[in-house]
Chains A and B, each alone.
Chain A
Amino acid sequence: MSAPASQPAAQAPRRVGRLEPAALAGVMSRDVAIFGRYWKATTFSSVVQPTIYLLAFGLGLKAIAHLPGHVTYQQYVATGVVATAVLFSSAFPGMFNTFIRWQFQRTYDAILAAPVDVEELITAEVLWISLRAGVYGLAPLAVGFAFGLEARWGMVAVPLIGFLTGFGFACFGVTVAAVAKTIDNFNYITSAVLTPMFLVAGTFFPVTNLPAGVRTIAEINPLYHCVQLVRHASIGGLGTGDIGHAAVLVAFALLMWRVAIAQLGRRLID
């Protein structure tokens, strides 16, 4: 067996900085390797789920839904389901992957012993989740084409909207994982926070149909702003009003990013 190729002569070790692309790429390369093993199951669920929603709601509720303008209910639901697809493919991995890798597999302990800090670790994990969420957000549109949704140029913005929304919700999921005592505690969040969030966001019915108080809550919901943007990009056309929606999503993403780093950092470094 041959000796390893000799290394270059002594050199000063490179200096590491904050939020290094090399560290982010390293952590994400691990996610890519794992995705390589599970992409079939993940892709299956992200296509089948919107199809089921479209069939169930699109066929079942179209007679009773009152929609503004000329939008068909199938078009309405197809765009709404983009937001739910993004929510589920970001908040759940944020919660479960974080908890499993941190508590059960201790992967995060291994990574933090390398020249990677908590900020880089969480940012890379969330970036990966939100990139994936942005892509999977397109699945409902693809399904929607079969139900009469027309392809429009504005739809190229959908992955970007999905990425931005997914970033915030992935960080939300990481925060939940950081404060949860056990993985069973996720049930509280799933039933009390995520379920109402995905229903009351203009996904399956307009929030204008809701009583004023509930409507206000819906308008605070970041998912509502995601739905509005996706719908405008895919059906109505984006306008200046959408800057406000985008601003809410950016603010939500930035806020949750810092919260996730602070909360999980507190638990990872003792």
Chain B
Amino acid sequence: MRAAPRVFPLSVAPNNLPAGAGRAAISLAGVRKRFGEITAVDGLDLEVEPGICFGLLGPNGAGKSTTMRMLTAQTLADEGSISVLGYELPRESKQSRLEMGVVPQLDNLDQELTCRQILMVFARLYRVPRAERAAAVERALQIANLTARADTIVKELSGGMRRRLLVGRGLIHRPRLVLLDEPTVGLDPQIRQELWTLIDGLRADGVTVLMSTHYIEEAERLADTVAVMSAGRIIARGTPAELIGAHAGEQVLEVYGPPDRLGEVSELAASNGWISRRSGPAVAILRAETLDGLAPEGIRRPANLEDAFVALTGEEIE
């Protein structure tokens, strides 16, 4: 049971046809970035085809945010090459930023300004022609569902409204590529649903979306292609179905029981070479369809992206 998603009424199609249609919208090759002792991005290769929603999935600290910042040249790579919308970074980064929108993970709105003022400033920053600015602001307000709060200062908006304003701000110039860094982190389920509807609408309009997330469900619901990032590199990529098939199999067997019993099951799995993981009050054994008669009693369910993710990274996430 979930609230019906509110429908975002407007088309958010870009006004320019992709110049390099057919070529990768984003391309990273051999990218490395160190911060002192820490290697945040460690030999990253990534291609994002135009027109898709690409999910960059990984636990906290995997290097997703650093990767996102490198795509706007706010972080410079130590090694490797990056191109965005056919422009080579960092040299042509300003040109690529003109044609893409960014929705940051952290709220960086001006607390003292109204929604309308913020959108007007960004309409100028994104070089929306003077004659079109007022309409662009109205359109962004409608995308953000904030028309009624247009003249409210940001300080007085709720967290969900601010997030929607961030999205509206990133779309004010009809970008053909949108970067969304953890777009729904910390939001309640209803607002998350609204944003998902919006992101889905973007893709339907031909906008390329690169979304980083550590919510598996988000990637599973929205992304055409998912790349799993761990310790600064991509360790797997494919459609959600491909990743599940390749790394978690068809079925998962969940065995419930008291802690002692779960310990035994884990040991049994290890001794038979089965891939298993603790999943709340149960032990989940992956590739359950391949288990022979030794399989313990339990509940079988279809494998999901979370299973594949855990199998790949060895890390449990929410």
Residues of A within 8 A of B (CB): 1, 3-5, 7-8, 10-16, 22-23, 25-27, 29-30, 33-34, 37, 105-107, 109-117, 268-270
- Find out whether the CB atom of B19 lies under 8 angstroms from the CB atom of A13: yes
- Find out whether the CB atom of B10 lies under 8 angstroms from the CB atom of A1: yes
Size of chain B's interface in residues, with CB distance under 8 A? Answer: 41
Closest to B169 in A: A110
CB distance from A50 to the nearest CB of B (A): 27
Question: What are 27 A-B contacts defined by CB distance under 8 Å?
Answer: A5-B135, A15-B95, A22-B127, A26-B124, A29-B124, A30-B113, A30-B121, A34-B110, A37-B113, A106-B104, A106-B108, A107-B108, A107-B110, A109-B104, A109-B106, A111-B125, A113-B72, A113-B74, A114-B97, A114-B125, A115-B126, A115-B127, A116-B125, A117-B94, A269-B75, A269-B76, A270-B76
- Find out whether the CB atom of A22 lies under 8 angstroms from the CB atom of B10: no
Contacts A105-B111, A106-B104 known; list 13 others, CB within 8 Å.
Answer: A4-B139, A5-B135, A8-B15, A16-B94, A16-B98, A23-B125, A26-B121, A26-B125, A106-B108, A107-B108, A112-B74, A113-B74, A113-B97
Q: Is B112 an interface residue (CB 8 A)?
A: yes
- Find out whether the CB atom of B109 lies under 8 angstroms from the CB atom of A110: yes
Residues of A within 8 A of B152 (CB): none
Q: B14-69: which residues lie under 8 A (CB-CB) from chain A? A: 15-17, 19, 35
- Find out whether the CB atom of A33 lies under 8 angstroms from the CB atom of B99: no
A16 to B96, CA, bound (A): 10
Residues of B within 8 A of A111 (CB): 125
- Find out whether the CB atom of A33 lies under 8 angstroms from the CB atom of B11: no
Closest to A16 in B: B94
Residues of A within 8 A of B174 (CB): 7
Residues of B within 8 A of A (CB): 9-11, 15-17, 19, 35, 72-76, 94-95, 97-99, 102, 104, 106-113, 117, 120-122, 124-127, 135, 139, 142, 169, 174
Q: Do A37 and B35 form a contact, CB below 8 Å, given A7-B174, A22-B124?
A: no
- Find out whether the CB atom of B124 lies under 8 angstroms from the CB atom of A34: no
Residues of B within 8 A of A107 (CB): 108, 110
Residues of B within 8 A of A37 (CB): 112-113
Closest to A121 in B: B125
A34 to B110, CA, bound (A): 9
CB distance from A213 to the nearest CB of B (A): 44
- Find out whether the CB atom of B95 lies under 8 angstroms from the CB atom of A268: no
In-complex Cβ contact of B74 among A3, A15, A268 (8 A): A268
CB distance from B164 to the nearest CB of A (A): 15
